[in-house]
Amino acid sequence: MKNQIQLLVLMAFVATGCITLENNAFKVVGTTAHVVDAAMNGWGDYVRAGKATPADQATVKAAYEKYQQAMQTTHVAISAYQVSKDKTALNAALDVLDACKNDLVDLIQKRKL
């Protein structure tokens, strides 16, 4: 599922032609937020059904907070890129954001099995 979403995002970028890193970053942020929101909505349903242990809830909460911090860092990196056009920090922030998203979604999927 995760790989399919990433492939769809990549195909969308290729289909639209030459896209700047800034536009790409905004699209990645939006897609990432959508994926995490969907996972967290499913997690909320799981918790409300009484299926999650307190330890599971704490673990997912910690992963979500890490994701939120990565999202904030990415927004700062996008703003910095708009000024400096130095893509190193932006690419690093996007990589961390993707890793945090993947960790959170994987964690939720494993807890719900």
Tell me: the pLDDT tens digits for 28-39? 999 999 999 999
How confident is residue 18, by pLDDT bands cut at 50, 70 and 90?
very low
Token code pair at residue 8: 């769809």
Asked if residues 52 and 46 have their Cβ atoms less than 8 Å apart, the reply is yes
- Whether the per-residue pLDDT at 44 is higher than 90: the answer is yes
Residue 52's SS3 state is: coil
Given this model, what pLDDT does residue 20 score?
Answer: 85
Residues 6+ apart with CB under 8 A from 100: 63, 66, 67, 69, 70
Residue ranges per domain, the chain?
Answer: 2-112
- Whether the per-residue pLDDT at 12 is higher than 70: the answer is no
Note the pTM of the prediction, 2 decimals: 0.80
- Whether the per-residue pLDDT at 3 is higher than 60: the answer is no
Rounded Cα gap, residues 45 and 88, in angstroms: 39
